[in-house]
Chain A
Amino acid sequence: QKEVEQDPGPLSVPEGAIVSLNCTYSNSAFQYFMWYRQYSRKGPELLMYTYSSGNKEDGRFTAQVDKSSKYISLFIRDSQPSDSATYLCAMRKTSYDKVIFGPGTSLSVIP
């Protein structure tokens, strides 16, 4: 079993839809949770960073962490074609530990 799992997609939605991207993980020691966005043929860039359980909102993006279920989500409201990318979840146990990445979910937002 992989330490971090994501549905690879591809996920295709119409412009304006609400998108839900999810990751599950097996190690209960993870405390720091991240979402990276990766455009085609580019390097990943950090989108959201959360610590422990709860929600964090930034504009159209909301990150949610449920440590009891070992499940994290990224919601995108009013999705735009510019949101078309691969979304990687990532997590670490402490700020001194290596980051473990999920395989990524490919998202296409159709105009």
Chain B
Amino acid sequence: DQQVKQNSPSLSVQEGRISILNCDYTNSMFDYFLWYKKYPAEGPTFLISISSIKDKNEDGRFTVFLNKSAKHLSLHIVPSQPGDSAVYFCAARGLYGGSQGNLIFGKGTKLSVKP
């Protein structure tokens, strides 16, 4: 059963507009949520994270929002740039059980920013 879900496999946005990437989770036993960016044939790079006790974290053009009651987080990129075109992975760190301390990844959303 997938604990971290990214239901949109792809997203296309015009340059300069806002990109919103979504992620849902089914398990309340996560303490951190993270976003990674990945280019083809490269390893993922850490983008931004949020603690489960916060509801927003901002870093430059990137903002992550956490809605615990809905078990939903989102990544906002404003303004979007062509260089943001990549696959974005949502991840969550498990607190208990077999996933304790490990990151669980979603399947990714491919973002395309058109000039």
Q: Do A and B come from one complex?
A: no
| Chain A residues in the interface with B (C-beta under 8 A) | none
